A = this chain, B = another copy of it.
Amino acid sequence: MSRRARERGWMRTIHPSGAHNAVTDVPGVRVGHAGLVASEGEAHTGVTVLDLPGRDRWRCRYFAGSAVVNGFGLMTGRDAVDSQGMITGPIVLTGTRSVGAVYDAVVARSLAEDREAVANDLPLPVVGECDDGYLSSPDLVCGPETVEAAFQALGSGPVDEGGVGAGAGMHLFGYKGGIGTASRLVSWDAGTCIVGVLLLTNFGRPEDLRLPWGLSAPPGPDADPRPGSCIGVVVTDAPLHPHQLQRVAARVGFGLARTGSIGRSGSGELALAVSTHSLDDSGCAPAPAGFVADRPLGRAPVMDLLYGATVDATEEAVWNALLAAQTREGPQGRRLVAFSDRHPDLAWAPEWVRG
């Protein structure tokens, strides 16, 4: 049975999805996961890398902007992105305990890959975290090996979802959560572009969950009392400037709210939006060259299409994470149940919806 929301009839959406309904539908974007499992097979954490297109990973700069939907979280490099309006290098996700070691491993990797570019201008890489401490252990730290494995796993095409990579130990509305993704093709009279969303979901108490179509479920489990967080990454090939990308990033919050998020006090919903528009011949885009030609994007109607696409794709990515995740056990008998296991009969929209 399919584990994705679209095929189950959960989504009512205006825009079609890309080929894989994933952030990798944005040309050149690749995603890689690597999990870390404690020797005793109990604790779960990991790393997910989203690599932007371009031949020179540590030199290409893309317009970017961020949004603090709710702030009790950490996305390193966020202030630098908003200051410069640009991002250089991959976007990395992991568990709270591993932020420091993963950050260090990413910087070390940048030096190993392109010392000439970064030795005198060290990057402030983007590493976003959610707290997977319930299924993981404070003694389990992702380091260079896990980061290397995630880079090695980088690929285009379909993206594994649920408890993979950084999502290994994450929860979602009391169930098992983790990685989710979706995409939307946006067309208007003068062109087409794609919006892809990648989420690391780890938020929501059981009572927050608001299923689509009025689907109703008995109260879910309440294993992990922590409010959690969510990191959202939006990538688009639309020729947006930084100011517009900040507004796109803020729409991640609208999508999360649709699924029931109330932005709990102990939760950190942080979002980043990147435009990969108009790579030049070197495979690198110091600044979007097509900005002027695509000027209509600056007008409200097309921005509204992009906003709507971002909200829709964010909502769908949450459901994809929820539906893909499988039951997982952690240390001390801890356990996060899969929504799909608990509510197989809710897997499809009711008949009156499917018509």
Indicate whether A68 reaches chain B with its CB closer than 8 angstroms: yes
A side interface size, CB within 8 A:
91
Indicate whether A253 reaches chain B with its CB closer than 8 angstroms: yes
At the interface with chain B, which of A81-89, A148-156, A176-184, A186-194? A81-89
B-contact bits for A116-141, CB 8 A (1 contact / 0 none): 00111110100001010100001001
Would A254 and B243 count as touching, CB distance under 8 A?
no
Would A227 and B122 count as touching, CB distance under 8 A?
no
Give A301 Cβ to nearest chain B Cβ, in Å.
8
Taking CB atoms, residues of chain B closer than 8 Å to A124 are: 73-74, 96, 99, 129
8 Å CB interface, A134-170 against B: 138, 141
Q: Which of A14, A75, A82, A115 lies at the interface centre, i.e. has the most chain B CB atoms within 10 A of its CB? A: A82
Would A103 and B99 count as touching, CB distance under 8 A?
yes
Indicate whether A62 reaches chain B with its CB closer than 8 angstroms: no
Indicate whether A113 reaches chain B with its CB closer than 8 angstroms: no
Indicate whether A303 reaches chain B with its CB closer than 8 angstroms: yes
Give A279 Cβ to nearest chain B Cβ, in Å.
14
From A242, which residue of chain B is reached at the shortest CB distance?
Answer: B243
Give A186 Cβ to nearest chain B Cβ, in Å.
13
Taking CB atoms, residues of chain B closer than 8 Å to A84 are: 71-72, 265
Would B353 and A216 count as touching, CB distance under 8 A?
yes
Would B295 and A286 count as touching, CB distance under 8 A?
yes
Indicate whether A76 reaches chain B with its CB closer than 8 angstroms: yes
- Complex-state Cα separation, A242 to B246, whole angstroms: 11
Would A268 and B80 count as touching, CB distance under 8 A?
yes
From A211, which residue of chain B is reached at the shortest CB distance?
Answer: B214
Would A79 and B83 count as touching, CB distance under 8 A?
no
Give A79 Cβ to nearest chain B Cβ, in Å.
4
Selected A-B contacts with CB under 8 Å, 11 pairs: A14-B207, A70-B247, A70-B250, A74-B79, A85-B244, A100-B105, A122-B138, A262-B304, A264-B307, A288-B292, A292-B292
